[in-house]
């Protein structure tokens, strides 16, 4: 029988000594605050276990708001994220921080015509000089001239190479630990982009192709590689969890790893074990961002047995991510990094062995 009555709602009075963990556990008691508490507990108590391989997806423009350096880099450094699927925009804007190019707080109510005249670009209530874009574009075009980029490769390899350049640039400039891509390169966390042409990095790659560059992304490798990382985790006796910030293409790319294994490759699998999504989308409007965990079960994306370990928080990612990250760090500290980048070929070899003939 399902237990409908949980603990009584009797929170202690807030005072100057109330810490973050106490606030979440004792005061986030109903509505989306309760879902956020459940998400914090799910990640801390289950998905942070050493046997869980965790994939994180990033949608929208979170890095310009400082969430890269402030939240994501600490999570990567502490071993809580094993691989990432992101929009190209998040990774492009992440590069600004390693290049010493500043973004500034502003207002969503400014006159955009005036901003255009002043050479400023706006992302809601963030502004940057137009020169920030031009200098970042120039950086990516310059590194793509290097011989190691002049070939076809998966997006994880591209981001590893770019991350190493960014790590060196921020080191030389004395900027500290500012870049997500740099941290992922050093921690060997594979970073994928589900739609590599849909960003300024993609536009600069296209411009290089006009000049004869042989660089191109291998989308097939990315599809196989992400599914292979999931399979390797399961065959190694572990579990997999997904943390989804937003929705869109990165969300689907992460979740399609299981249908790729089961439906396309004919491999015996059941779906991801843990699922945490932060979204502001509704499931009834047809947007993928609002697709629920139970709907994902019907596709084989989530293990039916894992439904009790799924949480959807209808909260702005810029509100939820700092809370989730802070709670996880304060309650768990760190975990041993898996350094999956070096194991990608091992995972692909396993995938090839188990895939059924076409």
Place 290 in a pLDDT band, splitting at 50, 70 and 90: low
Question: Which DSSP helix (H) or strand (E) runs through 191?
Answer: strand 191-193
In a domain, 237, yes or no: yes
Structural domain boundaries, residue 327 = 25-354
pLDDT of residue 287: 73
Name, in order, each residue with C-beta under 8 angstroms of 1's C-beta and a sequence gap of 6 or more: none
Convert the pLDDT of each residue in 36-92 to its tens digit. 999 999 999 999 999 999 999 999 889 999 999 999 999 999 999 999 999 999 999
- What's the count of helices (H) and strands (E) in the chain, helices before strands? 16, 11
pLDDT score of 198 more than 70 = yes
pLDDT at 284: 83
pLDDT at site 5: 86
Identify which of 278, 310, 313 has the alpha carbon closest to the alpha carbon of residue 294: 310
pLDDT mean over 190-214: 96
pTM here? 0.96
Identify the residue whose tokens are 């980048």.
341
314-346 pLDDT tens trace: 999 999 999 999 999 999 999 999 999 999 999
Across 269-287, average pLDDT: 90
| Contact (Cβ atoms closer than 8 angstroms) between residue 96 and residue 121 | no
Q: Could you tell me if residue 1 is inside a domain?
A: no
The DSSP result for 290-350, as a single string, is G--HHHHHHHTSB-GGGGGGEEEE-S-HHHHHHHHHHHHHHHH-------GGGGHHHHHHH
Sequence-separated (6 or more) residues with CB below 8 Å from residue 357: none
Instruction: Please state the rounded mean pLDDT for residues 208-218.
Output: 96
Q: Decide if 81 is inside a domain.
A: yes
Q: What is the total count of domains within the chain?
A: 1
In the residue annotation, 301 being an active-site residue is answered as: yes
**pLDDT-derived band of residue 4, with 50, 70 and 90 as boundaries?**
confident
Q: Note the pLDDT tens digit of each residue in 346-357.
A: 999 999 999 998
pLDDT, tens digit, for every residue of 96-122? 999 999 999 999 999 999 999 999 999
Q: Is residue 4 part of a domain?
A: no
pLDDT score of 61: 87
Which entry of 234, 251, 301, 338 is annotated as an active-site residue?
301
pLDDT value for 179: 98
Q: If pLDDT is split at 50, 70 and 90, which confidence band does 212 have? A: very high
- What is the C-alpha separation between 272 and 260, in angstroms, rounded? 13
pLDDT in tens, 117-135: 999 999 999 999 999 999 9
CA 169, CA 100: separation in Å to the nearest integer? 9
Q: pLDDT band for 259, please (50, 70, 90 cuts).
A: very high
- For residue 288, pLDDT beyond 70: no
DSSP 7: S
Asked if the structure places residue 11 within a domain, the reply is: no
Residue 309 has pLDDT above 60, yes or no: yes
Answer yes or no: are the C-beta atoms of 180 and 72 closer than 8 Å: yes
Residue 2 pLDDT level (bands cut at 50, 70, 90):
low
> Over the stretch 134-193, which tens digit does the pLDDT of each residue have?
999 999 999 999 999 999 999 999 999 999 999 999 999 999 999 999 999 999 999 999
Residue 337 lies in a domain: yes
- Does residue 3 fall inside a structural domain? no
17 lies in some domain: no
Q: How much is the pLDDT for 249?
A: 92
Q: Indicate which CATH number applies to the domain containing 104.
A: 3.40.910.10
Which residues have a Cβ under 8 Å from the Cβ of 184 and sit 6 or more positions away?
76, 84, 159, 160, 163, 190, 191
């Amino acid at each position: 029988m399902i237990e409908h009555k949980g603990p009584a709602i009797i929170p202690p009075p807030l005072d100057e000594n109330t810490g973050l963990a106490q606030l979440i556990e004792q005061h986030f008691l109903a509505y989306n605050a309760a879902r956020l508490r459940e998400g914090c507990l799910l990640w801390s108590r289950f998905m942070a276990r050493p046997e869980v391989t965790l994939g994180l997806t990033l949608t929208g423009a979170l890095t310009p708001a400082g969430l890269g350096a402030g939240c994501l880099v600490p999570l990567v450094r502490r071993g809580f994220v094993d691989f990432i699927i992101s929009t190209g925009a998040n990774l492009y804007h992440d590069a600004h921080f390693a290049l010493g190019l500043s973004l500034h707080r502003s207002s969503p109510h400014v006159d955009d015509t005036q901003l255009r005249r002043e050479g400023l670009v706006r992302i809601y209530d963030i502004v940057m000089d137009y020169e920030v874009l031009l200098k970042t574009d120039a950086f990516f075009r310059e590194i793509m001239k290097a011989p190691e980029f002049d070939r076809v490769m998966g997006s994880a390899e591209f981001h590893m190479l770019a991350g190493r350049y960014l790590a060196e640039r921020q080191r030389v400039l004395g900027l500290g630990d500012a870049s997500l891509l740099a941290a992922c390169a050093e921690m060997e966390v594979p970073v994928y982009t589900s739609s590599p042409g849909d960003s300024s990095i993609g536009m600069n790659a296209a411009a290089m192709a006009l000049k004869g560059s042989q660089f191109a992304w291998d989308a097939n490798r990315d599809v196989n590689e992400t599914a292979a990382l999931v399979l390797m985790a399961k065959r190694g006796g572990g579990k997999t969890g997904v943390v989804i910030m937003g929705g869109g293409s990165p969300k689907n790319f992460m979740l399609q790893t299981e249908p790729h294994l089961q439906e396309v490759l004919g491999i015996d699998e059941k779906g991801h074990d843990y699922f945490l999504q932060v979204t502001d989308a509704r499931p009834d409007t047809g947007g993928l961002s609002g697709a629920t965990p139970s709907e994902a079960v019907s596709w084989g994306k989530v293990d039916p047995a894992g439904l009790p370990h799924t949480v959807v928080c209808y909260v702005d990612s810029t509100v939820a991510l700092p809370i989730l990250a802070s709670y996880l760090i304060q309650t768990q500290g760190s975990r041993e990094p898996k350094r999956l980048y070096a194991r990608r070929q091992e995972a692909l070899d396993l995938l090839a062995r188990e895939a059924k003939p076409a």
